[in-house]
Amino acid sequence: MKVVGLTGGIASGKSTVVSTVLTLGIPVIDCDKLARLVVEPSHPAYKKLVDHFGTEILQNQQWGQPLDRYKFGTIIFPDAAQRRVANSIIHPAVRDEILKRLFKYWIKGTALVIIDVPLLLEGELWRIVSDVIVVYCPPDVQLARIKDRDGLSESDALARINAQRPLIEKVDYADHVIYNTSDLETLRISTLKVMDTIKPNPFWTYLAYFPPFTILMATWVVLRRHFKGDPRKMASKNK
């Protein structure tokens, strides 16, 4: 099974790319959705978050209520220390959910899976993907798109952009870049072109279904990534 990572910056167009990928019948694991799932009141990460941030991050500030996402965002986006705490609680839970899903796809004999991970190059997951796709747009376009889509103020939107590494640094580490600087139809065509490049060869897909071969291929992917260098060291700031 080939696992490809899709990343970019906030509002650079990842979800729009995903909507095209899904029309091709390729499964996508959406990490923003998983990050929502693991903070539901029934999950262990919920208690850990409330223990650290208090009930003020909950709707009506009441235990058992879902997260107040806007409020939580105003705490973690402008503050790197608080964001690190949130990440240290949420990311391991998200990673476990991703691995569970990958295992299910592998059992089913799926040829290609895309993981949509906004923080692919900031965390550890880049190690397990065979290709990295970065969806790029310039910061001013990103800003306009966030304000437009989420109705955020300029300062809230900038806090979100600045909570991530500059998108241009991620481009350096990409195997494929989708430049989302034009209209939606151009984005769709660029996405189809990249998907055509990464589609796995059926022969390798068939072989990869056998466990010993999977182990060999997984080792190859990890070694190849290792020798390409650690993307977390490429940036000036460690977010």
Ligand X SMILES: Nc1ncnc2c1ncn2[C@@H]1O[C@H](COP(=O)(O)OP(=O)(O)OP(=O)(O)O)[C@@H](O)[C@H]1O
Choose among ligand X, ligand COD, none what residue 180 binds, the Cβ cut-off being 5 to 8 Å by kind.
ligand X
According to CB under 6 A, which one of 85, 144, 163, 218 is a site residue for ligand COD? 163
Residue number of the CB atom closest to ligand X:
15
| Interaction of residue 10 with ligand COD, rule CB under 6 A | yes
| Interaction of residue 162 with ligand COD, rule CB under 6 A | no
From 68-76, 101-109, 135-143, 198-206, span contacting ligand COD (CB under 6 A): 68-76
Q: Which token pair is 122? A: 């900031």
Length of the chain: 239
Please report how close the Cβ of residue 108 comes to ligand X at its closest, in angstroms: 26
Q: Which residues of 165-193 are buried (b: 16+ CB within 10 A; e: fewer)?
A: bebebbeebbbbbbebeeeeeebeebbee
d(CA 229, CA 232): 9
d(CA 203, CA 115): 23
Q: Is 38 helix (H, G, I), strand (E, B) or coil?
A: coil
| Interaction of residue 73 with ligand COD, rule CB under 6 A | yes
Q: Which token pair is 3? A: 């696992």
According to CB under 6 A, which one of 2, 5, 20, 72 is a site residue for ligand COD? 72
Q: Which token pair is 219? A: 């080792």
Which candidate, 135, 102, 100, 131, places its Cα nearest to that of 11? Answer: 135
Site for ligand COD in 125-154 (CB under 6 A): none
Q: Is 118 helix (H, G, I), strand (E, B) or coil?
A: coil
Minimum CB distance to ligand COD smaller for 96 or for 230: 96
| Interaction of residue 90 with ligand COD, rule CB under 6 A | yes
d(CA 110, CA 47): 35
From 101-109, 133-141, 159-167, 227-235, span contacting ligand COD (CB under 6 A): 159-167
Minimum CB distance to ligand X smaller for 26 or for 111: 26
List Cβ neighbours of 93 (8 Å cut-off, separation of 6 or more): 38, 43, 44, 45
Minimum CB distance to ligand X smaller for 183 or for 196: 183
Return residues touching ligand X (CB under 6 A).
8, 10-16, 32, 118, 145, 149, 180, 183-184, 187
User: Which residues are near ligand COD by CB under 6 A?
Assistant: 10, 31-32, 35, 67, 69, 72-73, 76, 83, 86-87, 90, 94, 118-119, 160, 163-164
